[in-house]
Amino acid sequence: MRKLGEVCDVLDSKRKPITKRDRIDGPYPYYGATGVLGHVAGYLFDEPLVLIGEDGAKWGPGDKSAFAVVGKVWVNNHAHVLRPNRTRVLDQWLIYFLNFSDLGEFISGMTVPKLNQGQMNVISIPLPPLNEQKRIVAVLDAAFDGLTRARAHTETNLQNARELFANTIAALIVSESTAEGVRRTTLGTVCEITSGAGFPDRHQGKSDGDYPFFKVGDMNRDGNETDLLTANNYVSENVRRELGARVFPPGSVVFPKVGGAIATNKKRRIVVPSCVDNNVMGLTPKQGQIEPEFLSWWLQGFDIYEFSNKAALPSITKATVSEWPICVPPSSIQLEVVKTLKILWEQTQTLQSHYRAKLADLD
């Protein structure tokens, strides 16, 4: 065992911070406590080195506060700069040891935690012979490379499972649009289109009320893409009447009509009579015009952002939504499509749960 300061040269005196406004863009990486912050026109170091966060980092096991840099780089004063004595310690051995150790006992400062140079220098480093360091590093490199490949493969499978459902919706909708008896029409013909109403906070209850009240943020939660099953707020019938707010019946589909949330392309199906805020638009199927669940699934394959004004603050108007084209097959075919999509939804959700569990295992 040796102290870190005994097996590394500390080059902190050569560091130099540059404020963001004073940085001149260039080809050289500019490093801080956790990695590259940008690129600048000059460099301070030009050799293989090890950096470890001085402040603005985390130092628990697995937090990866230490990392290697190679070539021409600039380092600010938030990362310590180490040149290992490579006749005694390998760079990657040092990095692995620091990153998977709990360095909490060496950290000072409550408001701004910091690994100061004095404390860093007394961290004890185990030093087996170099050949043994190389052997262990090779084992760890292979293990982490395998984990990285497995994670990438699993993430691809997860994305494929999501896309499988979306692509199937699109394919079914296209195929049914040519079915015998199909009607080519617009959403304004088959739906009532209404925006929600703004309820002041004082009129919203957290646990009771006559109607669940949904905001744009409720569009983005994880879970079933077609249902709003829970609400964080409720409103009373008296307040609803006072404000003239619409009650959206079960089967209505709601989505954001203004702001960045439009780009998430999230739509939710109302399952109990509900109110929504004035940044949300709702479609309520007209009786005899379209099956509610068919409308809900059809909208899942429809990119609402493409029909927004795509401004800095995107928005969608009722007039635009009214003109959205839709092909409505006969009711019997709509119900068959819904049945097929429900089955596929359950299967793809099972697949996604499996892949998410695998990612958690890899972590």
Rounded CA-CA distance 153/143 in Å is 15
Tell me the mean pLDDT in the region 57-71. Answer: 94
Nearest to 2 by CA among 175, 151, 122, 160: 122
| Residue-level pLDDT at 337 | 87
| Residue-level pLDDT at 78 | 95
**132 in helix, strand or coil?**
helix
pLDDT, the chain, mean: 89
pTM of the complete model beyond 0.85: no
pLDDT in tens, 94-143: 999 999 999 999 999 878 899 999 999 999 999 999 999 999 999 999 99
| Residue-level pLDDT at 229 | 55
Is 84 a residue whose pLDDT tops 50? yes
Distances in whole angstroms, Cα of residue 104 to Cα of each of 85, 107, 278: 25, 5, 48
| Residue-level pLDDT at 79 | 97
